[in-house]
Amino acid sequence: MVGIPKSNRCTFCKLRKTKCDENWPTCGACARAGKVCSGARNNYKFVVNGCHNEEPTPKSSDSDDASISSCDGSQITDPLSRRSSPGGTIIVDMKEYTASLGPGTFHRMRLTRPHRPRSVKRGRPTSTSTPSPTPSPVMSPSDRLASQFISCIEAASGTGHDLLIWGPSIKMIPQRLGSESPVLRHTVELVVASWSNSQRDVMSPETWLDLQLHMQALGSLRKALAEPSQGLVIDTITAQWLLQKLELTYDFERGANRENHAAGLTAVISRGGPWQGFQDLGLYATFDSFFNMLQEDVRQGRDSVFMNYEWITAFRQAVDGSMLRPVVKAMYRLWIEMTVWPTLVRLVRVLAQDPSDTMTAAELLFRASPVIEYLEQESEATLASLRELGDIIEVENLLDADLFPTCYQFCDIDTAKFFYTHAMYSIIIHRTMQEANLVLDHYISSVMKKCREFSKRIWMAYPWMRTQRPLAIEYTAALAFSYESANEEEREFCIRSLDDMEYFRRPPPIGRWIDATIMANVKGYTGRMPFIKEQDITIELCGLGCRC
């Protein structure tokens, strides 16, 4: 066989140091001497009619097959022409090969061995065979998106990019991504893309929000709202809640769609009635959306649809029957009590138009007094318990030691949110009561003292909340409501802190946080100044109203 190197001679010929005619499977020298020819060297073994110069090797599984390449680079992929010995040697049945490919010689064949681990030495059998790797399961698009979303949640634990800041319902979203509705999937795709953009130092903050995915998510939401399906209400509520949080954080128009989202959430939730029996995710997403829904009710001057007895009773039963942590339950119960906030603001606006309306002032006190009692009870019970457990502690203040020698540290974001939200609503309710007392000629000095006490709590929470930027953007509302109780030096601190919490945001053209804009918002959300749908900054600068 011309062309085969001399090194391919059989063992008998090599020992005799004679030339082998390589007329395999038995060369001429072995045939004349009556020897069993070893065949070609270099682990080339040939089979003729199932026989071999050594014992036949049993057929291996398809996973042991190796590719066989000819000298011209073509590959033999016929599994019938391949066998594998335990040592990894490829055995080629040349009769089957030549019969399948047509006539021709089979010299100069190059055989490729299966991959051998480095730990296994060549030619030395191992006692245990290396198991083949388990193939990775094929992931569906929903599973892949869920894994990406989980990676985002876990990647930034304890940092300002921690998505858990948005609410405990964030952990329950991945299991809903396999539903039939595209609205939640498209919204989560937007969250993943925008969150990933925010992690890149090379991208400016105003480009974090993926506009293409944003439009897709909004389009899916419009379809879901136009064609409501009772089985997919949870997806719609969760998608709207996520879009609210996303736009509040990454939209530099400061939530251009907030009115639509709040109206849509209210419509979807109220459509099912108070006893619809939300699943956990639907219940949690509803409560995590309450601040935005109540804000919109205040701006529109209407009562919350959730303040009636049936809704409040249903919500309380749902919260009490849930498996939530005590601090999250306390937060959700606080939202239930705060459904009266838009009503109190509406009554204050009536008093602003007619300061002699004692009937309205009496109604205002009647509605506000139970809420004040609830807030004081929570301060003495829940917040005191959190301090005893060490979930809220006072430490040395390293940022503004001249103003506040100590500051608060919290065990997690849920505890911090309950702490500053409780303080914020304590200020709001006391401010509305103050308006009623002015009409009734009742001056209660404790009202102002309480406002300052809770404002100081918010200020002392700032060093910890600062570490949660940029997602802890809702804390700016608490800072704004604390501003009115501050002295000149403390007001400078509040303005500086507000700008610092929004350090990553491009200031919108309608203005920045200054004394006039802060006071306009504070008075607007407590009923002492009207909301005006106008972007003219002079409305706030001249004290005419609050822009919305």
- Structural domain count, the chain: 3
168 and 284 in a single domain? The answer is yes
Residue 343 has pLDDT above 50, yes or no: yes
Contacts of 434 (CB under 8 A, 6+ apart): 447, 448
Q: What is the mean pLDDT of the chain?
A: 79
29 and 170 in a single domain? The answer is no
User: Which one is predicted more confidently, 165 or 457?
Assistant: 457
Q: Which residue has the tokens 């959430």?
A: 265
Token pair in block for residue 327 = 């601090």
Residue 92 has pLDDT above 50, yes or no: no
Whether residue 283 is contained in a domain is answered as yes
Token pair in block for residue 243 = 């879009």
Check if the beta carbon of residue 139 is closer than 8 Å to that of residue 147: yes
40 and 164 in a single domain? The answer is no
195 and 315 in a single domain? The answer is yes
Confidence class for position 123, pLDDT limits 50, 70, 90: very low
Last residue of one domain, picked from the residues 321, 349, 383: 321
155 and 303 in a single domain? The answer is yes
SS3 state of residue 371: helix
In the predicted model, what is the mean pLDDT of residues 123-136? 52
Please tell me the distance from the alpha carbon of residue 217 to that of residue 211, in angstroms, as a whole number: 10
Residue 358 has pLDDT above 90, yes or no: yes
Whether residue 255 is contained in a domain is answered as yes
In the predicted model, what is the mean pLDDT of residues 426-448? 89
pLDDT value for 160: 76
Helices (H) and strands (E) in the chain, counts: 21, 10
314 and 337 in a single domain? The answer is no
306 and 350 in a single domain? The answer is no
pTM of the predicted model, to two decimals?
0.72
Check if the beta carbon of residue 480 is closer than 8 Å to that of residue 498: yes
Q: Which residue has the tokens 């128009």?
A: 253
Last residue of one domain, picked from the residues 92, 111, 130: 111
Residue 313 has pLDDT above 90, yes or no: yes
Paired sense of beta strands 546-547 and 531-532, if any:
parallel
347 and 438 in a single domain? The answer is yes
Please tell me the distance from the alpha carbon of residue 103 to that of residue 114, in angstroms, as a whole number: 28
259 and 343 in a single domain? The answer is no
Q: DSSP class of residue 382?
A: I
Ramachandran angles phi, psi of 526, nearest 5°:
-115, 10
Check if the beta carbon of residue 203 is closer than 8 Å to that of residue 506: no
Whether residue 118 is contained in a domain is answered as no
332 and 315 in a single domain? The answer is no
Whether residue 355 is contained in a domain is answered as yes
Check if the beta carbon of residue 332 is closer than 8 Å to that of residue 324: yes
Residue 206 has pLDDT above 50, yes or no: yes
188 and 237 in a single domain? The answer is yes
Q: What is the pLDDT of residues 472-516, one digit of tens each?
A: 888 999 999 999 999 999 999 999 999 888 877 655 445 578 899
Residue 46 has pLDDT above 70, yes or no: no
Whether residue 543 is contained in a domain is answered as no
414 and 472 in a single domain? The answer is yes
Whether residue 521 is contained in a domain is answered as no
**What domain range is 249 assigned to?**
140-321
Whether residue 1 is contained in a domain is answered as no
pLDDT value for 281: 85
What burial class does residue 531 get, using C-beta atoms within 10 Å of its C-beta: 0-12 exposed, 13-18 middle, 19+ buried? Answer: buried
Last residue of one domain, picked from the residues 303, 321, 339: 321
> What is the DSSP annotation of 236-296?
HHHHHHHHHHHHHHH-TTS-TTHHHHHHHHHHHHHHT-TTS---HHHHHHHHHTHHHHHHH
SS3 state of residue 48: strand
Ramachandran angles phi, psi of 329, nearest 5°:
-60, -40
Whether residue 159 is contained in a domain is answered as yes
Ramachandran angles phi, psi of 210, nearest 5°:
-75, 105
Residue 264 has pLDDT above 70, yes or no: yes
Residue 5 has pLDDT above 60, yes or no: no
pLDDT value for 254: 52
Residue 271 has pLDDT above 50, yes or no: yes
Highest mean pLDDT among 10-14, 261-265, 270-274, 527-531: 527-531
Check if the beta carbon of residue 93 is closer than 8 Å to that of residue 99: no
